[in-house]
Structure 1
Amino acid sequence: MQFIYVLPDWEGSTHDGCVLRDVISRQHGLRVPRGCYYLVDSEYCNANGFLVPYPGQRYHLKEFHGHRPKTPEEYFNMKHSKARNVIERCFGLLKGRWKILASPSFFSMQIQVCIIMVCCLMHNLIHKFMSFDP
């Protein structure tokens, strides 16, 4: 679990679609490799390189507990949800390791951006170079 693109200079209340539009429109912004896709939640729209779950179908893993998917769309949503859970666990691990990220900050926005970038970088370095993750 690594962070491949981090853009922390947006407020948390900003709509996800607005952030994504900004990220992909930047000169050195997020680029989706050909033949690859990023899984996004239902706040987004399907677009080249981005897959949303099927609307109107079961999605959350707890909805599948004890029940198998009945349609190909439900199966896709179940797999989509499992993969997105990995993403959420990664954020949880990041906040658990770096407690400074888990509470409101009194630092300036510029310092907060640097803190987030450094925490993500350290997370990636720990996973890449340490055989044991403390």
Structure 2
Amino acid sequence: MKVSKEYLKFHEYNIEGSVENKWRWFKNSIGALDGIHIPVTVSAEDRPRYRNRKGDISTNVLGVCGDSRVLRDALHRQNCKYFLVDAGYTNGPGFLAPYRGTRYHLNEWIENTPKKYKELFNLRHASARNVIERSFGVLKKRW
């Protein structure tokens, strides 16, 4: 199963202003990475291969998204490159996850301000990583 250009429209765009500001805290970041299960319809004989841990029939999609300028810049640098990932991943070479046990999701910040450095980091991390969540939302609406 492949997702091709027939189903997705790619647009050239220029990131400026507040969105660009979100990435400045993560200068060596390549982008945001996340996985999602998308429900699929398959033949009865293929269902066991597509059954996820919750018992649903789906395909697991790993997606990467980011500002194309950040990506181009990161690929030309010789220093560390990494992806912003959610708490489902662990910190390690190439992955930068948020602090666990600290507020993270953007809706938790409504009318609140960070009080500790870990909260500030998580707020900035969530703001930058939100690009992959929005991209998956657009992808899921296609079906």
TM-score using structure 1 length: 0.48
TM-score using structure 2 length: 0.45
Which structure carries more helix by proportion?
1
Which structure carries more strand by proportion?
2
